[in-house]
Amino acid sequence: MDSTLDLSRLLHILKKNLWLLIGLPLLFLIISAIVTFFIMTPKYQATTQILVNPKQTNDNMLQQNVQGTLQQVNTYAEIVTSPRILDKTAKKLDHRYKSSELAGKVNVESSAESQVIKVHVVDVKKGESEKIANAIAKVYRDEMPDIMNVDNVTILSHADNTAQQVSPKTMLNLVVALFLGLILALLFIFIKELTDTRIKDEQDIEDHLKLPVLGSIKRF
With contact defined as beta carbons under 8 Å apart, do 36 and 173 qualify? Answer: yes
pLDDT at 202 (0 to 100): 62
pLDDT at 149 (0 to 100): 84
**Domain count across the chain:** 1
Query: If you count them, how many residues does the chain have?
Result: 220
* 191 within domain boundaries: no
pLDDT at 72 (0 to 100): 81
* 26 within domain boundaries: no
What pTM, to 2 d.p., does this model score?
0.73
* 30 within domain boundaries: no
* 75 within domain boundaries: yes
In sign, the C-alpha dihedral spanning 101, 141, 91, 84 is positive
**Which domain covers residue 86, as residue numbers?**
43-167
What CATH number does residue 62 fall under? 3.30.70
pLDDT in tens, 203-220: 665 665 555 655 565 655
The yes-or-no verdict on residue 2 having pLDDT over 50 is no
Q: CA dihedral in degrees (171, 174, 179, 182; nearest 10)?
A: -150
CB atoms within 10 A of CB 130: 23
Cα angle 96, 100, 103 (rounded to 5 degrees) comes to 100
pLDDT in tens, 50-96: 998 766 555 555 555 555 556 688 889 999 999 999 999 999 999 99
Please tell me the distance from the alpha carbon of residue 55 to that of residue 42, in angstroms, as a whole number.
42
| 107 membership: H or E segment, kind and range | strand 106-109
Q: What is the mean pLDDT of the chain?
A: 85
